Structure formats: structure tokens, C-alpha cells
Amino acid sequence: MNALKAFLKESPRVKSFVHYLLLPSGQARPRRWVSWLINPFVHPRGNGSRVCGTVRLDVLPFQPFSIGRDSTIEDYSVINNGVGAVAIGDGVRVGISNVIIGPVTIGNDVITAQNVVISGLNHSYQDIHRPIRRQPVSVAPIVVGEGSWIGANAVVTAGVRIGRNAVVAAGSVVTKDVPPFCVVGGNPARIIKRYCEASGKWERATLART
């Protein structure tokens, strides 16, 4: 696979033709023959994993996509690996109508509620003479630590790392890293609570700092 990628980089015309074979021009969803005949053999799925029937898998064979053991992607979600790999760990539940755009790594035992957006993709807008959709895109990996919970309607932006056993409150927009064992909320999200090892309790952020 690496040799094929290197060959395509050195052959723009061949790359363009292969790209056309894989997905229609201007679209993110691969052609049906790719979804049926190629993706099942190049994208590993763990035992007991489940991708519900209405999930839109915009995944292509030249980027990694994996889902671990006993993990579920609920209905109406969209998974896209067009610009970066998507790796979903074991025991993960991706909630209804989630959108996950790589590069994204989700650790084991993570829960995401409904309508969560996790996108490692961003659009450039430096050139004011060109529509934004025609400008280059940038990517920055997102990592969601194991055991975390992301509430409904939350947005996690490119480059963010969410620590182990962290909680993102519903409706939050996460633009900065979240430490382990913290609760964050708001737009932009800030730390609301931390777990205090000394007291063995979850404490409000101001008290925990004191």
C-alpha cells in the first residue's frame, strides 16, 4: 500500500484517474463498488462490532479506518477518512447522528451522545479572492482518551486531545486540550470540575485549584 501511494504521488495523471474511479468528482462518498468490494477487505472490524444500516461510511481504501471489538456506530452517523485516518477502539459507542472526520483516534470505552461533531479537518481562508470551498484544507489529529464521555451536540475541533475519563458537557465547543479526569463545558469549553485525588471527589475547578 505504501509503494502504491508513493507511485500515485509521482504520477499526477494516474492519481487523478484512480481518484475518479474511487469516488465521483466533488463528492465525499465512495462509489458503491468500492464500499462493497474493497473496503471490507482493507478496513479491519473487531469481533462483535456493529455499524448500523443507515450509517454513511465515507471511507476510502487509501486511508486507514478501523473499529474495535464490541463497538457500535449508531444510525445516521457519518464517518469520513478522506483526509485522515479514523481509528475507533474497543467498547466504543458512537451515538446517533455523529459526524467524525479524520484524522481522529477514539480510545477504548468512549461514549459519544447524539449529534456530536469530531473533525480533524479545517478549511483555509487566507485568499479573499477565492471561495473558501476552493482553497486548501488543513488537518490536525484529534485524540479522545479512553473512558471519556462526550455529551450531545458537542463539537471537538481539529488538533484537540481529550484526556482519559474526561467529560465534555452537552453543547460544548472544545477548542483546546482537555486534561484527564476533568469536566469541561461551554463555548469555548473550559474546566468546570476536576477529580481531586486527595479528597477522592469531583470538585469545582476553582476549589480544586485552591
Write the DSSP string, 23-39. Answer: S-TT-SSPPHHHHHHTH
CA distance 131 to 172: 29
- The answer to whether 71 and 52 have CB atoms below 8 angstroms apart is no
Residue 43 annotated as catalytic:
no
CA distance 98 to 110: 13
- The answer to whether 100 and 94 have CB atoms below 8 angstroms apart is yes
Instruction: Give me the catalytic one of 19, 43, 123, 129.
Output: 123
Active site residues: 123
